[in-house]
Structures are given as C-alpha cells and as structure tokens.
Amino acid sequence: MRNLNIIISNTSEKPLYEQIKEQVKSAILEGDLDNGELLPSIRKFSTDLNVSILTIRRVYDELEKEGFVSSKAGKGTFVLAGNKDLIEDTKRILIEEKLIDLITISNMLDINIEELHKMLDIVYEEV
Amino acid sequence: MEDVLSISKVSKHFKSFILNNININIKENCITGFLGKNGTGKTTLIKIILGLVHKDEGEIHYFSNPNLNKKDIKDRLGVVLDEGYFYDNLTLNEMKDLVSSTYTNWNNKKYENYIKRFKLDGKQLISSLSKGMKMKYALALALSHNADLLIMDEPTSGLDPEVRKELMQILSEYVQQDGKSVFFSTHITSDLEQVADEIIIINNGEILEQVSKDELLEEYRLIKGNNEILEKLNKSDLSLINKTNYGFSAITNKYEKIRKEFPEIIIERTNLNEIFLAKTEVY
C-alpha cells in the first residue's frame, strides 16, 4: 500500500467499520489508491489495525456493494477506481451533504440565498 | 468464512454444576476468545471439545467435515491446557518424543525453531520450568504438528505482561496463515482487547453472548452525570452504578436513549473489562 493512511479515533462516536470505510473510500476518491491496486487481506488488515476480522470484512463488503472495490475469490480485494461516473457522483454527494448542512443552518439564522452566495464567494477566495 | 468448530445444544450435568445448552461456533482464520469468570464452565467445555470429558447431550462438528475420524481430528487440533500434562522428571526433548509419536504430521524443524525462539533448552528437565516457560513449551508442542485449530485453556493466567504480549503476538502470526484458527479461554479481558476477533462470554454454565469484539465495544458506554439525573433514570438500563455525593457513573447499552433525554450527560467509550463486569453483574 503506497498511500493508505488509516487513523482510528477512540473519541469518535462513529463505529470502527465506518471510520475505516470512510478513510479507504477517501483514499480511492483522492487518487491515493490506483485502479486495480490490491488491498491488504482482511486478516492482515485487521491484525495491523487491531480490529476484528469481522469489522474489515464488513468494510470490504460494503465498499464492494457501493462499487469501490471488487473481490475475487482466492485473489483478494482490488480497488475499482476506473468507474469515473461513480467517483464523480460520490464527490458530488459529499459536497451536497455539506451544502444541506449549510443551508439548514442559514435558514435557522435567517440568512437568505443571495447573502449565502456572496459569503461563499468571499470565503472561497480566502481559503 | 467456514466454521472450524460448531457446537450445538451441548449439555453436561454435574452434581453441583450444569453446563447448559451450549451453542457456539468458531470461525476460520479468527481468534475467538472464551471469556468467563473462574468456575463458570470454560475448562469443562474445552475438555468436552477435546473429548476428555463426555457430554450428556448435544453435538460437536469439527472443521465442517462429518467424515473425519477421531485420529484426523486429533491431528488437526493443537492443545494447550492449564495444567500441562507433562512428566516432571523428563527433559523437554524426551517429553517431545513421547508427544510427537502420537501425531501423523509432526514437524521437528518447527519444534526446534519454537524452542529456540522461546529460549528454551531441550535438555532441561520439565520440573525446572517456570510457569511461563511451561506454557511456551506446551505452545511449541501444539504448533509443531501442523494443527489447524489451536485450543488453549487459560494460557495467560499467572504469566507476566511481557510473556502475555509475546503469546498474543504468536497467535496473531499464526492466524495470518490461511485456514488457521485459535480458540482460547481467559478471564483477562486485556488479552482479548488486543487480539480477539470474536468473543464468547460464558456465565454460570450458560453462553451469554457470541459477538465480534468491535461490536461489543460499540454496544456499551460509560455515562457520568449528577445525582438528579440518576434518580430519573431507569435503573434496569444501568450496570455497575457508582454513586458518590458529587455524582454518578454507570455502564449502559441504552446510551442513545439516555442522551436524547438528558443531553448534558457525559458519554464515554469504555473497555472490555467494564463491559464484561456489567454483563455478568449479579443483582
């Protein structure tokens, strides 16, 4: 694994499988993992991360269902980063989730859409 | 993942103790921890699995293969028991010759590697071994005949932290090989926190739960708050309540519900030890 960093937080309220799954997913989305790259075996990965093998199996199962990896019996689990539509879609969904939060808070604070647009432009320049 | 061992409806009646309707399964490539207080039936169940104690009822299937005979099963089980069944007046190598002759696939090279790795001396008398060395010797024997399932009864009891850590390391290495699995009993929860994939909890001769370690740790939280809150909480949702003049703490698996009712309460993750005590608490 070239660029797979997984940090597990004990203070996070998120369950372990979710923390691991999100970090593998973002490594795929950010291009740190290449298409076709072999992920660690569930046994090796779980021992290294000091989590149950059942947790890693769940992570791989869910990533496979979502189309980010593919498992081949006896060979292992591979990254599927060739699916550009899925990756673009997922990036958009990630941003949309944040936008929904943003709009909800804006509505609560009586900030209208024009004001929000202006703020977005200003903050975007600054970051 | 196949089951390497599946136990269904196993019971054993003693005059003063009953092992009641045991249903568990050990999965391939997993380290399964068998957790229970002293005298709750761990050793009895392990002896039943090994055929050293006869069960009254129930069935045990080994390696998902009904065609295995007793000899096949013995060859594939590596065993470390609490009281090493060794002759004190033999040397390690003499005892090894006795043991190895009973297995089909004895691998003397492996044995010698383990003896070297564990810093044991084959010419030493068994009576001269410390408790930790005896466990390592038993482990060397158990790992040298190409067993697929390592079964150990309280391998860490009475050992110092360093040897315990070394043992856990060896177990982790062992299950990296395809098709190798470990089942071991303990009452020391930190051993399991380190290496276990699944945990089976036994109490008073009954299985309380078989669950993945991470799920078990996810299920419970430590909560803290003031005593007015404690008054309003449903006591049956709480275990290990510790109340002082200044506030309380408790273990609960209803923390989501409690958080909604009392957002000011402090909720923290807890460890296996507290969860185990909460689950086996006597009211």
- Please give the angle made by the CA atoms of B209, B215 and B221, to the nearest 5 degrees: 95
Residue A2 — very low, low, confident or very high, per pLDDT cuts 50/70/90? low
Helices (H), chain B: 42-49, 70-76, 92-100, 108-117, 131-142, 161-176, 189-195, 213-219, 227-232, 255-261, 272-279
Question: In angstroms, what separates the C-alpha of B211 from chain A's closest C-alpha?
Answer: 10
pLDDT at position B152 is 95
What's the pTM? 0.84
Q: Which chain B residues are Cβ-neighbours of A10 within 8 angstroms? A: 269
Nearest Cα residue in chain A from B29? A43
Question: In angstroms, what separates the C-alpha of B185 from chain A's closest C-alpha?
Answer: 17
Q: Which chain B residues are Cβ-neighbours of A43 within 8 angstroms? A: 29, 175-176
- Residue to substitute from B197, B198, B255, interface A, most A β-carbons within 10 A: B197
- Enumerate chain B positions whose Cβ falls within 8 A of a Cβ in A: 1, 29-30, 172, 175-176, 194-198, 212-215, 218, 269
What is the number of CB-based contacts under 8 A between chain A and chain B?
Answer: 38
Task: Tell me the pLDDT of chain B (283 aa) as tens digits.
Answer: 789 999 999 999 999 899 999 999 999 999 999 999 988 999 999 999 999 999 999 999 999 998 999 999 999 999 999 776 889 999 999 999 999 999 999 999 999 999 999 999 999 999 999 888 999 999 999 999 999 999 999 999 888 888 899 999 999 999 999 999 999 999 889 989 989 999 999 999 999 999 999 999 999 999 999 999 999 999 999 999 999 999 999 999 999 999 999 999 999 999 999 999 999 987 6
ipTM over 0.85: no
Could you tell me the sign of the dihedral formed by the alpha carbons of B218, B277, B57, B154, in that order?
Answer: positive
pLDDT per position as a tens digit, A32-89: 888 889 999 999 999 999 999 999 999 999 999 988 999 988 889 999 877 777 778 8
3-class SS of residue B69 = coil
Question: In angstroms, what separates the C-alpha of B196 from chain A's closest C-alpha?
Answer: 7
Nearest Cα residue in chain A from B211? A54
Q: How far is CA A20 from CA A51, A75, A82, B119, in A?
A: 10, 22, 21, 39
pLDDT at position A1 is 57
pLDDT at position B283 is 61
On the question of pLDDT at A127 being above 90, the answer is: no
Average pLDDT rounded to a whole number, residues A78-107: 85
The CATH code belonging to domain B3-216 is 3.40.50.300
Residue spans of the domains in chain B: they are 3-216, 220-279
User: Which residues neighbour A33 within 8 Å (Cβ) at sequence distance 6 or greater?
Assistant: A1, A2, A3, A4, A24, A27, A39, A79, A81
Give the CATH fold of the B220-279 domain.
Alpha-Beta Plaits (3.30.70)
